[in-house]
Chain A
Amino acid sequence: MDRLKQRELLHLLEEDSRMSAEQIGKMIGEPTEVVEQTIAALEAEKVIVKYPALVNWERVDDHPYVNAMIDVKVTPKRDVGFDEVAERICRFPEVKAVYLMSGASYDLSIILEGKTMKEVATFVSQKLSTLDSVVSTATHFILKRYKHDGVELEDRDEDHRMVVTP
């Protein structure tokens, strides 16, 4: 499959990962088998990493859920720089994302997911701050998610058009 079509396929899957190979094939004008082979190859190459569902937990009743972003200042180590401590932080299951940042007064940005505020607090005070190279942390709780992964969570665009028009 040519590169342009491959990119189109990726866009389609990114938008709706449950779309069938047959449907994608029809939409981009390729046989189903070719789509299947391409998807398999993209998975093997780790271009496609995962097929997650984007859940708006705020809509799920009684689901305790907090999100925090933590700015972390660390002392880089000779030879391994920031990588060693970053990799260590990545291993904690409550950590959803770790980024090395430029232009900020801190080095690593961490996105954390916990069931309660207390759980997050415990993680920061007992696990994160106690790491050797961590100099300081600043925790910001996310109060409300308006847009996530390119999707606006509230106020979905409805079709306001008339049923039949010229």
Chain B
Amino acid sequence: MSTQVKVKNRLSSTVQSLKPSGIRRFFDLAASMEGVISLGVGEPDFVTPWRMREASISSLERGHTAYTSNAGMLPLRVEIQKYLEERFSVSYHPETEILVTVGASEAIDIALRAILDPGDEVLVVEPCYVSYEPVIRLAGGVPVFLKTTMENQFKLTPQELETHITERTKAIIFCYPNNPTGGTMTAEEWKTLLPIIEKHDLMVISDEIYAELTYGRMHDSIAALPGMKDRTILISGFSKAFAMTGWRLGYVCASPDLLAGMLKIHQYTMLCAPTMAQMAALEALRHGRSDMERMIESYRQRRNYVVDGFRHIGLTCHEPDGAFYAFPSVASTGLSSAEFAEKLLMEEKVAVVPGDVFGESGKGHIRCSYATSMEQLKKALERMERLMGRLS
């Protein structure tokens, strides 16, 4: 008998059971082709504004290359506090309630790991960002999916929330403004959910990475509503609004006991977020507002343009109020979202992401990111129109 571990068992059963990302499969397919116009990119098409890049370079020149405190540079946490208070009327103490993380991604991970015991159920509002389910499983939790629909502008309703709660339900996680639908929630809509959240004593993980990207009205944070701050873990970061995806910088805010728990995980696994990125983020919050506004204006114009374009070529599309995604339905073509996306890629060289990658309720839709140049959007719409012409 060999003493070697069986190959099959070298990976944990949890890891073995995780499905590879559906986005990844599409990425491989699209990457192997030339001349593809991509509406499949979930990140800004802007390069990080120069002022942030410059701040980071200058900090390197001054030799700021050491670890910062585990929770992140205090001046940065102070700026985050001021920023959240001013923009979204949520107030967190910089020393005990704010933790700087390696992207919102790490924040999601440590939030779940900090609160879940094996078998705890987490409600996940669908369609949703592809990481929630695997990260919940890795933390020992069990995801339970809540559906939203286009007819309802992809908003979570009290009925849908209430029907899925069991004794094991510990928390709910969602992202509004939403990736992939662009759906948002108003304060009034949040209020209809609060009695249920309170009655069942749920914790709330609110991924607000797209908070700045709303068109026509300000983002309403659930943490700002009466009684909610204490049970909410607010997650955000610099990737989207400040076009800083590659910097890997985010943050998580929560009441001191929760934050202390997350800090434990963070300090043993990450130690601290990258120093150069923290320097750039500090600059972003202090002086980057106008850069951000310029980008938001441009997203809004492109949103208007593509949504109109989709409707024009015969795809039903709700008007997304936030993020930089449109989520039109392709049901009228009789194809599944994967079939449609594959046909569009192979025949017209336009990459989009099939909606069911983001969960059951994304079925029949495709995610189209409009974070790409007007020129590309125009061409993509022309190509999609050609395909629609052949399908009808």
In whole angstroms, what is the CA distance A165 to B239 when docked?
A: 13
Partner of A8, one of B23, B47, B297: B297
Shortest beta-carbon distance, A164 to chain B, in Å? 4
A8-B297, A157-B47, A159-B45 known; A165 and B305 CB under 8 Å?
A: no
Residues of B within 8 A of A162 (CB): 27, 31, 41
In whole angstroms, what is the CA distance A166 to B207 when docked?
A: 15
Which of B21, B305, B351 has the most chain A CB atoms closer than 10 A to its own CB?
B305
Q: Using a Cβ–Cβ cut-off of 8 Å, how many residues does chain A contribute to the interface with B?
A: 17
In whole angstroms, what is the CA distance A48 to B36 when docked?
A: 37
Proximity string of chain B (360-386) to chain A, C-beta cutoff 8 Å, 1 when within and 0 when not? 000000000000111000100000000
A8-B297, A161-B43, A161-B45 known; A166 and B305 CB under 8 Å?
A: no
Contact residues, A77-116 vs B (CB, 8 A): none
In whole angstroms, what is the CA distance A89 to B31 when docked?
A: 57
Contact residues, A141-166 vs B (CB, 8 A): 157, 159, 161-166
- In the complex, the answer to whether A165 meets B301 with C-beta atoms within 8 Å is no
- In the complex, the answer to whether A165 meets B42 with C-beta atoms within 8 Å is yes
Residues of A within 8 A of B26 (CB): 164
User: Is A26 in contact with chain B by the CB < 8 A criterion?
Assistant: yes
In whole angstroms, what is the CA distance A11 to B31 when docked?
A: 34
Partner of B41, one of A23, A27, A28, A164: A164
User: Is B147 in contact with chain A by the CB < 8 A criterion?
Assistant: no
User: Is B129 in contact with chain A by the CB < 8 A criterion?
Assistant: yes
A8-B297, A157-B47, A161-B45 known; A166 and B304 CB under 8 Å?
A: no
A8-B297, A157-B47 known; A163 and B351 CB under 8 Å?
A: yes
In whole angstroms, what is the CA distance A164 to B353 when docked?
A: 8
Shortest beta-carbon distance, A5 to chain B, in Å? 11
Which of A8, A157, A163 has the most chain B CB atoms closer than 10 A to its own CB?
A163
Shortest beta-carbon distance, B126 to chain A, in Å? 15
Of all chain A residues, the one with the shortest Cβ separation from B303 is A27
User: Is B260 in contact with chain A by the CB < 8 A criterion?
Assistant: no
User: Is A52 in contact with chain B by the CB < 8 A criterion?
Assistant: no
Would you call the interface of chain B mostly helix, strand, loop, or mixed? mixed
- In the complex, the answer to whether A26 meets B304 with C-beta atoms within 8 Å is yes
In whole angstroms, what is the CA distance A69 to B372 when docked?
A: 38
Shortest beta-carbon distance, B245 to chain A, in Å? 8
Shortest beta-carbon distance, A83 to chain B, in Å? 36
A159-B45, A164-B353 known; A27 and B302 CB under 8 Å?
A: yes
In whole angstroms, what is the CA distance A11 to B298 when docked?
A: 10
Shortest beta-carbon distance, A32 to chain B, in Å? 12
- In the complex, the answer to whether A164 meets B40 with C-beta atoms within 8 Å is yes
- In the complex, the answer to whether A163 meets B31 with C-beta atoms within 8 Å is yes
Residues of B within 8 A of A163 (CB): 27, 30-31, 36, 38, 40-41, 351
A159-B45, A165-B41, A166-B129 known; A28 and B27 CB under 8 Å?
A: no
- In the complex, the answer to whether A164 meets B305 with C-beta atoms within 8 Å is no
User: Is B150 in contact with chain A by the CB < 8 A criterion?
Assistant: no
- In the complex, the answer to whether B45 meets A165 with C-beta atoms within 8 Å is no
Of all chain A residues, the one with the shortest Cβ separation from B358 is A166
- In the complex, the answer to whether B41 meets A161 with C-beta atoms within 8 Å is yes
A157-B47, A159-B45 known; A164 and B301 CB under 8 Å?
A: no
Residues of A within 8 A of B89 (CB): none
User: Is B295 in contact with chain A by the CB < 8 A criterion?
Assistant: no
- In the complex, the answer to whether A8 meets B301 with C-beta atoms within 8 Å is yes
In whole angstroms, what is the CA distance A28 to B21 when docked?
A: 36
User: Is A12 in contact with chain B by the CB < 8 A criterion?
Assistant: yes
User: Is B308 in contact with chain A by the CB < 8 A criterion?
Assistant: yes
A26-B308, A157-B47 known; A166 and B42 CB under 8 Å?
A: yes
Shortest beta-carbon distance, B378 to chain A, in Å? 8
Which of A23, A159, A164 has the most chain B CB atoms closer than 10 A to its own CB?
A164
Which of A11, A23, A166 has the most chain B CB atoms closer than 10 A to its own CB?
A166
User: Is B313 in contact with chain A by the CB < 8 A criterion?
Assistant: no
Shortest beta-carbon distance, B114 to chain A, in Å? 23
Residues of B within 8 A of A11 (CB): 297
A8-B297, A157-B47 known; A165 and B40 CB under 8 Å?
A: yes
- In the complex, the answer to whether B42 meets A12 with C-beta atoms within 8 Å is no
Residues in chain B within 8 A of chain A (CB atoms) = 21, 23, 26-27, 30-31, 36, 38, 40-43, 45, 47, 129-131, 179, 297, 301-302, 304-305, 308-309, 351, 353, 372-374, 378
**Can you report 5 A-B residue pairs in the complex whose CB atoms are below 8 A from each other?**
A163-B27, A163-B31, A164-B38, A164-B40, A166-B131
Residues in chain A within 8 A of chain B (CB atoms) = 8, 11-12, 16, 23, 26-29, 157, 159, 161-166
Apart from the given pairs A26-B308, A165-B43, 17 other A-B contacts in the complex at a CB distance below 8 Å: A8-B297, A8-B301, A11-B297, A12-B301, A16-B374, A23-B374, A26-B309, A27-B305, A28-B304, A161-B43, A163-B30, A164-B27, A164-B31, A164-B40, A164-B353, A165-B23, A166-B42
